[in-house]
Amino acid sequence: MHIILNHSSMVPIYEQLMEQIKSEIIQSVLKEGEALPSVRTLAGELRISALTVKKAYDKLEEEGFVTTVHGKGTYVTASDKQLASQARRFAVEEDFDKAIDRAVAIGMNKEEILEIVKLILDEK
């Protein structure tokens, strides 16, 4: 696992950790049944609190990406293609939402925003 945390970001560390692990699961870098590092091990490697890692793992479990077996560890759950697809779509929607918010903040209207999107798509 390759995790890069930005300590000066406004995004909480546990969310950064969650998103990077989730991304590796969605992209099949982390495979079904693969064990994640223990909470203490990952906390030590990243030099962050074990509670932060635990919170990230708990949230990933709530979302169905991992399963924790007490005393054994945390494992990537069976990859649900629909869940992975929904997660990827949600990530794209979030990116669009941020871009639209930025465009609206500088005074662009709906037609101008759509024109930009069409231009970008036509270049693909």
Q: Which residue is it, tokens 């500088």?
A: 106
Which residue type occupies 50?
Answer: A
Average pLDDT over residues 37-46: 96
10 pLDDT more than 70 = yes
Nearest to 28 by CA among 68, 79, 69: 79
Per-residue pLDDT band at 83 (split at 50, 70, 90): low
8 A C-beta contact, residue 57 and residue 39? yes
| Local structure of residue 49 (DSSP, 8 states) | -
| Residue 8 confidence (pLDDT) above 80 | yes
pTM score, whole prediction = 0.67
Distance of alpha carbon 118 from alpha carbon 108, whole angstroms: 15
- Looking at per-residue confidence, does 83 or 121 come out higher? 121
- What local confidence, expressed as pLDDT, does residue 90 receive? 79
Q: How far apart are CA 109 and CA 7, in angstroms?
A: 35
The highest-confidence range among 1-10, 21-30, 77-86, by mean pLDDT, is 1-10
Tell the CATH topology of 11-77: Arc Repressor Mutant, subunit A (1.10.10)
Q: What is the mean pLDDT of residues 90-107?
A: 91
Query: 3-state DSSP call for residue 77?
Result: coil
